[in-house]
A and B are shown apart, each in its own frame.
Chain A
Amino acid sequence: MTSRAAEAVPDRGGANADGKPGRPGDGLGTGLLVLPGVLWLAAFFLLPLGIIAVISLGSVDPGGHVTLADPSLRNYEQALRPEFLPAFGKSLYYSVVTTVLSLGIGYPVAYWISRHGGRHKILLLVLVMLPFWTSYLIRTYAWLIILRDNGVLNAFLMETGLIDRPWVIVDTDLGVIIGMTYGFLPFAILPLFVSIDRLDFSLIQAARDLYASGRGAFLNVTLPLTMPGIVAAVFLTFIPALGDFVTPDLLGGAQTTTIAKIVQIIFTSGRDWPYGAALGFLLMAVTISGTLLALRSLRREVIGTAA
């Protein structure tokens, strides 16, 4: 459904422009339709990115001002300090765990909504999205109230006698992971829902008719056919999680510093924008190349099933 609807748009655009239906991606109308998106990306993505790239080659003069007088790759050499590895490791650890948990929780939820949501499907999806109507910061603070030493959860556990001293969750890895999984779960559910909902259920029935077990049908039919959704969910969760700064800063403590926090320290306490930009750019390069590599190895499978 979704893909056909998307293809229908350029068709209509082509028809309006030259009076006869055109192929998707064909004609002036399509170009005009794409233009705002391209301009948006250029102005708010490529331009800032370019600026960061340029600044990262500069340095800070003795007066504390950014200068491009003697452009070099010094900042990048400096950014590769082995001292930063533990923080990078933390970021990686949090984003991997967050991604796995988001998939593990998101897949059954998306599957259930798609298969059993019935006429409430849209309502259920809206419920998944509903938290976005509140600031992420406020929601993270809500978690703080729930998870704190004298928060709601600990009060409940101690009241019921399950524990007799507070379970320390905030300021630990667990606190960060709970917060991040909560934050990124909707980004996993939505693409998973789209691909599960698009799945032709009769294929599973066919598999069962051919004596596949429930598990076998899932592993051999459902899972491969929903792989595009899984891949999208992984990227939509993993990449932003890698750069997340707010959650580890709020729900994390002295021992949970991520690489994003290091970038922030260099920009603010260190007042060294070029160095911070280089470290940020390096992280982005790592993320993008990782994504491209993963996409390449998955491409056949993804495109093969998506087309």
Chain B
Amino acid sequence: MTRDNRQTGMTFDEALTTKLRLAGWTRRDFLARVAAVGAATALTQLLIACGQGTGSSAPEPTERPTPGTSAAAQATPAITAAPTSPPEPEDELFVYNWAGYIGRQTVDKFEEKYGIKVTYDKFPDESTQISKITSDGRGGGYDVTYPASTWIPRFSVDGVIQKLDHSLIPNLANLEAAWQDPGYDPGNQYSVPYAWWTTGYAWDPRAIDADLTSWGALWDPAYSGRMSMLDDMRECFAAGAFRLGLSPNTTDLAELDQILAHLQEQKPLLRRYTADDIGDMVGGVVDLTHCWSGDWVQMTYDIGRIRYAIPSEGSIKGSDTFVVLSGAQHPIAAHLWIDFNLDAQISSENTNWIGYMGPNEAAREFIDNYIINDPRLNPPPEVLAELIELQFLEQPDLDQYTSRWTTLRAS
């Protein structure tokens, strides 16, 4: 793993350029593009809604063709000739992932190995990802994306993602036993675990010389104007909930009002609700930011002294997955992509660069010690047990969150 820019002492411009390349401007770029394509996706959505008749929820075929058969139907005739030999992959692949969430050479290595041209698009936040891939209910033109595990039950029922053909992913054997059969997707039928995270906050000890341990730090007037929260509704509500001793998955309206009031108290102290926590810290915009564990690791590539804590009141854990979208035009290549990323070497390169630990048993021996040994990045079972996963919210509950979140942001 090359981490040539890991040391401190970069000039601002170098650091910013790195960040823009690594994550920053591509995130923003995506925001702008979403705005631009909004009308187009709206059009698609409506056409679909009309086509299916109004009133019913978008009907989905219960059984989607497996990638193998759909490829046989649409791809080169050579595939049908020998059913036992692996099918010929398509020559293109469209991948949709978080910015800064893959090893630096993974895409190049994949292209080199298979001769498949990868179009690798990035999104800045989960809500952008979800609206894009559900815009047509079939993945918005992408083959592979990386949703949080909590989305898998919903996506499989709705037919947004397709059943995986395990015969095309032999590297599934590399996964830890516990992740061969996760609760959100028994038997990994629709998804493959990619990486997990914890939520906490990062700070620059040169500006804030303290051992921060509580969520209260993000409400501390001493740091007014020097803090940012993630531009993520659920994570902000979770932070407020933990601070008040409530569940981050609460749907109780009185509790939500309490959290809103608490977040309203915090807002005047904030510099930003950020989609670029890494850029903000490295660019010196803030001294303390709400962030995810791996983002902190990426901050330390530029400013090694930055610290991270999982607050003592409790926090969020979660995991992301690979899925093949149901509208995938390149299903074989999509399976190859997943298999390639499960390779012990490639998987460790991903983790070593992005700082997010994955459930790949075979990759562990290649993963940097500081990641393996850091309980914030690779929490031991007793820490994991304390952390809470954000649950999927049904629309009526989500509406309650959104109405409060927009009230907060508009105020």
Contacts and interface: CB of A to CB of B under 8 A. Distances in A.
State yes or no: do A and B come from one complex: yes
Interface of A: 47-48, 51-52, 54-55, 60-69, 81, 83-87, 135-138, 141, 145, 148-151, 155, 168, 170-171, 245-246, 249-250, 253-255, 257, 259, 261-262, 264-273, 277
Contact of A69 (B43, B54, B131, B229): B54
Interface of B: 12-13, 16, 20, 25, 28-29, 31-32, 34-35, 38-40, 42-43, 45-46, 49, 54-58, 125, 127-128, 130-131, 134, 154, 158, 225, 228-229, 232-233, 267-268, 270-273, 283-285, 394-396, 398-399, 401-402, 405-407, 409-411
A253 B272 contact: yes
Nearest to B269: A254
A269 B28 contact: no
A69 B272 CA distance: 40
A83 B411 contact: yes
Nearest to B131: A268
A255 B49 CA distance: 38
Given A269-B402, A272-B402, A69 B55 contact: yes
Contacts of A135: 29
Contacts of A150: 12, 283-284
B406 A270 contact: yes
B19 to A, nearest CB: 11
Contacts of A67: 49, 54-57
B241 to A, nearest CB: 17
A22 to B, nearest CB: 37
A83 B411 CA distance: 7
Task: Determine the main DSSP class of B at the interface with A.
Answer: helix
Given A63-B57, A69-B55, A141 B28 contact: yes
13 contacts: A65-B58, A66-B45, A67-B49, A67-B57, A135-B29, A137-B32, A148-B12, A150-B12, A150-B283, A253-B272, A254-B228, A255-B268, A266-B406
Nearest to A254: B270
A135 B28 CA distance: 12
Contact of B395 (A60, A171, A259): A60
Given A52-B42, A253-B272, A141 B20 contact: yes
A65 B35 CA distance: 21
Contacts of B45: 55, 66, 273
Given A69-B54, A69-B55, A149-B285, A268 B395 contact: no
A238 B207 CA distance: 41
A64 to B, nearest CB: 5
A145 B283 CA distance: 9
B150 to A, nearest CB: 13
Contacts of B399: 60, 270, 272
B25 A55 contact: no
Given A47-B43, A48-B43, A269-B401, 11 more contacts: A62-B396, A65-B57, A67-B57, A150-B283, A254-B229, A254-B267, A254-B272, A264-B35, A265-B233, A265-B409, A271-B398
Given A67-B54, A246-B32, A62 B395 contact: yes
Nearest to B36: A246
A83 B406 contact: yes
A277 B272 contact: no
A19 B85 CA distance: 70
Pick the most buried of B42, B232, B405, B407: most chain A CB atoms within 10 A of its CB: B42
Contacts of B58: 65
A41 to B, nearest CB: 14
Contact of B283 (A65, A66, A148, A250): A148
Nearest to B392: A64
A2 B43 CA distance: 37
A67 B50 CA distance: 9
Contacts of A151: 12
A267 B57 contact: no
A84 B20 CA distance: 32
A55 to B, nearest CB: 6
Contacts of B56: 67
Top 7 A-B pairs, shortest CB-CB distance: A270-B402, A268-B127, A87-B410, A69-B55, A254-B270, A48-B39, A68-B54
Contact of A267 (B38, B233, B407): B38
Contacts of A48: 39-40, 42-43
A68 B16 contact: no
A51 B398 CA distance: 24
Given A61-B395, A83-B406, A137-B32, A253 B55 contact: no
Nearest to B58: A65
A275 B402 CA distance: 11
Contacts of B34: 264, 268
A64 B137 CA distance: 11
Contacts of B28: 137, 141, 246, 249-250
A84 B16 CA distance: 34
